[in-house]
Amino acid sequence: MVGNQLLDGNAEVVHLHGVNYSGTEFACIQGWGFFDGPSDDAMVQALTTWHINVVHIGLNEDCILDINGVDPDYAGANYMNAIVDFVNRLHAHGLYAEVSLMWAAPGSEQALDHPPILDADHAPAALQAIANAFADDPNTFFGLQSEPHDIGWACWQNGGSSCSVGYTALGMQGALDAIRSTGATNPVTASGIDWANNLSQWLSHEPLDPLAQLMAEAHVYGGNSCDTTSCFNTNYAPVAAQVPMVFGETGETYDASSCGTTNINTFFTWADAHGVGYEPWTWDTWGNCSSLISDFDGTPANAYGTFVRDYFQAHW
């Protein structure tokens, strides 16, 4: 990372254009698997036919740490080995990986959803486990927390007494410190507030990274508060001018209400003009308008999926 550009080992600029693969955040806690679909070589090969160069997966805190009653078959070393094996498979096909802490919860609560902010109980250990698993992997970067929400910027940055969420919170500075305490030098993303849609005070609350390898992440869907180029120019452009930035999730609509292409076209066009990467939601066969595919061979599910495939193939 130099300035606002992400660089590879040859000092060439990396443009992130990929997808999310949802499942690793919920299958394990629900007790039936690691992924919501295949994770084999054929699945990864299909990704490459779309010219995808990164896959974003979200992890579950309880499954990482084997706590709070998770089936041990899908937790601890079993869980992390499955994640590492999949990421290595991605790399073998020339893809990067973003590994984020997605579902988490304090104390004895099971991690069944996105928390408002990370918890100080378990998140440091979970982030350290992620960092240790990929510390020697220059082709994987980390997401501190997928979608902070219902908090302010001071809470986001500092956690602790700056928050009022009913538990002891871990802010983004503490989360980054947990990663760096392992010696891992990987780039790290910090998602903004309001379900990662708001970066308005990201720069003024930017966590301090001694390695200067911190990226900004926004999640952008049609129907979000910030879903227009006018908002992007105000809210995102100043951030993207300073640090590398990625739309860590994006899609036509946040609620799968449209399989159209108008919004995603706007988002990609603006991102390309500002050097911002994007990872559309999602490479899953759910049969709704969030799904990019209807089959893990890469068959597009709808107009939205077809647009993303065609755009990637034309531009990358």
**pLDDT score for 227:** 98
Q: Write out the chain's pLDDT in tens, 316 residues.
A: 899 999 998 999 999 999 999 999 999 999 999 999 999 999 999 999 999 999 999 999 999 999 999 999 999 999 999 999 999 999 999 999 999 999 999 999 999 999 999 999 999 999 999 999 999 999 999 999 999 999 999 999 999 999 999 999 999 999 999 999 999 999 999 999 999 999 999 999 999 999 999 999 999 999 999 999 999 999 999 999 999 999 999 999 999 999 999 999 999 999 999 999 999 999 999 999 999 999 999 999 999 999 999 999 999 9
Q: How many helices (H) and strands (E) does the chain have?
A: 11, 12
Angle, helices 76-92 vs 41-49, to 10°: value is: 40
Angle, helices 123-134 vs 76-92, to 10°: value is: 40
Total residues belonging to the chain: 316
Give the DSSP H or E segment for 249: strand 245-251
Give me the DSSP letters along 157-180.
HHBGGG--SSS-EE-HHHHHHHHH
Among 2, 1, 4, which Cα is nearest to 239's? 4
**SS percent in the chain: helix, strand, coil, step 5:** 35, 20, 45
Q: Is the pTM of this model over 0.95?
A: yes
Q: Kindly provide the residue ranges of all beta strands, DSSP E only, lying in 19-116, ordered along the sequence.
A: 19-20, 54-60, 96-103
Give the DSSP H or E segment for 190: strand 188-191
**pLDDT score for 119:** 98
DSSP state of 138: T
